[in-house]
Amino acid sequence: MATRLTLPKTYCPLLDSRETEAAIRRIKTYFQENLAFELNLMRVTAPLFVQAGAGINDDLNGVERPVAFPVKALGESRVEIVQSLAKWKRLRLADLGAPAGSGIYTDMNAIRPDEDLDNLHSLYVDQWDWERVITRQERTVDFLKVIVRRIYDVIWRTEKYICHQFPVLDPQLPETITFIHAEELEARWPNLTPKERELASCREHGAVFIVGIGGALPGGAPHDGRAPDYDDWSTPTYHGYRGLNGDIVVHYPLLDVAYELSSMGIRVDAPALLYQLALRDALNRRDLFFHRRLLAAELPLTIGGGIGQSRLCMFYLHKAHIGEVQASLWPQEMVDDCRDHEIILL
């Protein structure tokens, strides 16, 4: 397992352990209530695991291994711990018969054993997964931007709120978010890696939404990986660009990194699904449960994504490591190095 660690030269937690736990509770309560109001979402209960081989689990970049195990009571059939709920949420919205303009959100807890561990990445992933039904006319980049602005406004307001509750904290976010396409980033900084381009853009703007993640850029490689069967990263949008998805990324001064808070997008319709499956040589997935229902027009058109809970808490509370706001497992060397620099992992 690969590990990377950044140790700020001078670091002292601004909140002690008790204050940190109290602040985490306030953040999570305030944020989810505001998100639900802003996007007209209803909270639902989500599964921790799903049936293997049904096409419901998220494939992420296609290389991460889900945690799986046989279940005695189900005839030893295998189930998988969810990696995200991107596809499950569309199935749930179909079952609920949710109308356009309404949606759901839930707490998603995942285990990603192949994660490279560092200040921002953990074996344990906790996020708010949300999904909202849209109309055919709303499958546009302009509507995507409307939703991004609403989510970012909740992120910005929550930071103002928690800084008011704990005056030792100072707000870091700009009031508005800047939109830029991954192709524009590549054209401006062709000699940088995608992550280096993100950092350069975040240093310049403070908060950016990078549109079009998953499809190949003019340079030949994608900005980042995306599975072919949830986000629509191939539909033409404007000025010849492709993609109806993206990431909210902000600058985190403490570590001087591009700090991803959310991945989201308009989801594939039937034509986009078939096109993207063909691009990834994965048309065999058409026979899976989720894909059959989508191709049969049994699932609504949606927009959705995930927003990192521990990521938000770490950012708002000016922590140097995500292990300061969530309980997980870390290599002993990392634990020792962190302790030597006043970073106490839970």
Q: Three-class SS of residue 259?
A: strand
From the list 58, 80, 183, 231, the catalytic residue is: 58
- Given this model, what pLDDT does residue 62 score? 58
Average pLDDT over residues 37-58: 88
* Whether residue 126 has pLDDT greater than 50: yes
Q: Locate tokens 């670091």: which residue?
A: 11
* Tens of pLDDT, residues 131-168: 999 999 999 999 999 999 999 999 999 999 999 999 99
Q: Which two tokens stand for residue 52?
A: 């293997």
- Given this model, what pLDDT does residue 1 score? 44
- Given this model, what pLDDT does residue 267 score? 97
* Whether residue 61 has pLDDT greater than 70: no
From the list 59, 159, 229, 247, the catalytic residue is: 247
Residue 303: band (very low, low, confident or very high) from pLDDT cuts 50, 70, 90? very high
Q: Is 153 a catalytic residue?
A: no
Contact 310, 28 (CB under 8 A): no
- Given this model, what pLDDT does residue 223 score? 94
Distance of CA 87 to the CA centre of its chain: 14
Question: How would you classify the pairing of strands 207-211 and 178-181?
Answer: parallel
Average pLDDT over residues 309-330: 96
**What is the CB neighbour count within 10 angstroms for residue 76?**
9
From the list 32, 234, 263, 276, the catalytic residue is: 263
* Whether residue 64 has pLDDT greater than 80: no
- Given this model, what pLDDT does residue 82 score? 84
Contact 329, 122 (CB under 8 A): no
244 domain residue, yes or no: yes
76 domain residue, yes or no: yes
Residue 63: band (very low, low, confident or very high) from pLDDT cuts 50, 70, 90? low
Q: Is 328 a catalytic residue?
A: no
Please tell me the least confidently modeled range out of 86-90, 102-106, 174-178.
86-90
346 domain residue, yes or no: no
From the list 112, 226, 267, 311, the catalytic residue is: 112
| CATH number of the domain to which 151 belongs | 3.30.930.10
Burial class (CB in 10 A: 0-12, 13-18, 19+), 332: exposed
Q: What percent of the chain has pLDDT over 70?
A: 98
Contact 300, 315 (CB under 8 A): no
Terminal CA-to-CA distance of the chain, rounded, Å? 20
Please tell me the least confidently modeled range out of 25-29, 135-139, 147-151, 233-237.
233-237
Bridge partners of 104, per DSSP, are 42, 131
Higher-confidence position of 98 and 10: 98
* Whether residue 57 has pLDDT greater than 80: no
- State how many domains the chain has: 1
Average pLDDT over residues 65-87: 86
Q: Is 112 a catalytic residue?
A: yes
Residue ranges making up the domain that contains 206:
17-340
Average pLDDT over residues 274-285: 94
11 domain residue, yes or no: no
Instruction: Please give the mean pLDDT across all residues of the chain.
Output: 93
Amino acid at 250: V
Contact 211, 180 (CB under 8 A): yes
345 domain residue, yes or no: no
206 domain residue, yes or no: yes
From the list 260, 267, 310, 326, the catalytic residue is: 260
Q: Is 260 a catalytic residue?
A: yes
CA-to-CA separations, 218 to 62, 87, 182, 183, 241, in angstroms, rounded:
22, 29, 10, 7, 10
Give the pTM: 0.93
10 domain residue, yes or no: no
* Whether residue 327 has pLDDT greater than 70: yes
From the list 127, 201, 234, 309, the catalytic residue is: 127
Contact 302, 93 (CB under 8 A): yes
* Whether residue 3 has pLDDT greater than 90: no
12 domain residue, yes or no: no
